[in-house]
Amino acid sequence: MDFISVVQRLVGVPGRARVVAQVRVVVHTTGKASPTTSDNHWSIYLILQGNADSPQESVRANMTSDLPHLTGKLVWRSHSFIRPSSALAHWDFETAPVLAKGISRPIQVNDIAALIYTKGRHKYIMSGGGSGCRFWVLTILRDLAQNNYISLPENGLKDIEDCLQYQYHTDREPRKINWIEGTFLE
């Protein structure tokens, strides 16, 4: 994607110049799929750096689609919370400073959004099996790690890759699933 197209897309991203303290992966319940299982949706919350006088805030990057269509739509939304009430579990990754024009500075929402658009991660076809959002989240985490935007534990992304293989529930242990990857468009 060319520079001007990226800049035009960034205009719609809330909190563009805000510093991101953590990248949080959230698995949400979307309600009961059956009497014993919950449907899940996965998204990314950029936890914003706050101060003592303000509550913590976040910007959510959410790949969604309007069923029955599978074409993904990247939705950015600012929130006055860092853990949504629909969250069943979450995993946090500390951000690392970025080097811009030879100067180290904290990472901003703008940096992460620009990476997503530059890599074409906003052009996505969901899998249709209810697990396309998992692959999108994992791909974004891989991009962030590859660009040194997040600090990884010793085993890299292994733990979160394992966690993405499960369906989470409100009242019982997670269940392993076979997930289907979505497809990024050129």
130-170 tens-digit pLDDT: 678 999 999 999 999 999 999 888 888 888 999 999 988 88
Nearest to 98 by CA among 19, 3, 11, 25: 19
pLDDT at 54 over 80: no
pLDDT at 171 over 90: no
Residue 127 confidence (pLDDT): 86
How far is residue 13's CA from residue 60's CA, in Å, rounded to a whole number? 10
Residue 143 confidence (pLDDT): 97
Residue 7 confidence (pLDDT): 64
State the pLDDT confidence band at 122, using cuts at 50, 70 and 90: very high
How far is residue 124's CA from residue 12's CA, in Å, rounded to a whole number? 18
Helix axes 132-146, 109-118, angle to 10 degrees: 110
Q: Could you report the per-residue pLDDT of 8-23, keeping only the tens digit for each?
A: 666 778 788 899 999 9
